[in-house]
Copies of this chain bind each other. A is one copy, B any other.
């Protein structure tokens, strides 16, 4: 791994948290990172719901099938996209914002994990209901955030077989 990109490689999926709160300053920094992402024609179709209430986090954990870690998380950021603003590119724009939030979490010494929602229709519908997200918005994912109980080493998963030069063949 090139040392210059260590920051990026330090982003690992962390699913085990201490249960401690995430500070307002850190939540603000995560959202700033999300909104520093590029978006198609800079339309910024994203919306973010920052959830920190214990009951609210536990409720999300009960709805999403792979979100047990929310029970020990300090926060959850739901990343939504305005389909009326850009139906063709909102998923890409919101994915870029999500990745920025995850890299930022590593910079803030927090642990985080991307929990897929869209396009799993049932999961998206239930979570939108729980969070009160209007119809026209898609709910791309939940990002669990917490004080990490584990800190995995930085790593790439570089695989030469996934790289071509100049042309596929």
- Chain copies in the assembled complex: 2
Chain A 18-49 near chain B by CB (<8 Å), digits 1 or 0? 00000001001101110111101000101111
| Given contact pairs A5-B107, A11-B36, A156-B36, A47 touches B95 in the complex (Cβ within 8 A) | no
Chain A 71-95 near chain B by CB (<8 Å), digits 1 or 0? 0000000000000000011011001
Contacts of A120-169 to chain B: CB distance below 8 A: 120, 131-134, 140-141, 155-159, 162-169
- Candidates B8, B35, B51, B165; contact of A158 at CB < 8 Å: B35
- The number of chain A residues touching the other chain, given as a range, is 35 or more
- Does A67 reach chain B (CB closer than 8 Å)? no
Question: Which of A114, A163, A169 neighbours the largest number of chain B CB atoms within 10 Å of its CB?
Answer: A163
Complex formed: what's the CA distance from A35 to B168 in Å?
18
| Given contact pairs A2-B28, A108-B4, A169-B132, A120 touches B36 in the complex (Cβ within 8 A) | no
- Candidates B5, B91, B158; contact of A92 at CB < 8 Å: B91
Q: Which residue of B lies closest to A116 (CB)?
A: B40
- Does A13 reach chain B (CB closer than 8 Å)? yes
Nearest chain B CB to A112 CB, angstrom units? 10
Q: Say whether B36 contacts A157, CB under 8 Å.
A: yes
Q: Say whether A37 contacts B167, CB under 8 Å.
A: no
- Candidates B25, B33, B119, B165; contact of A8 at CB < 8 Å: B33
Q: List 9 A-B contacts (CB under 8 A).
A: A2-B25, A5-B108, A8-B36, A32-B158, A47-B163, A48-B164, A52-B166, A96-B114, A131-B167
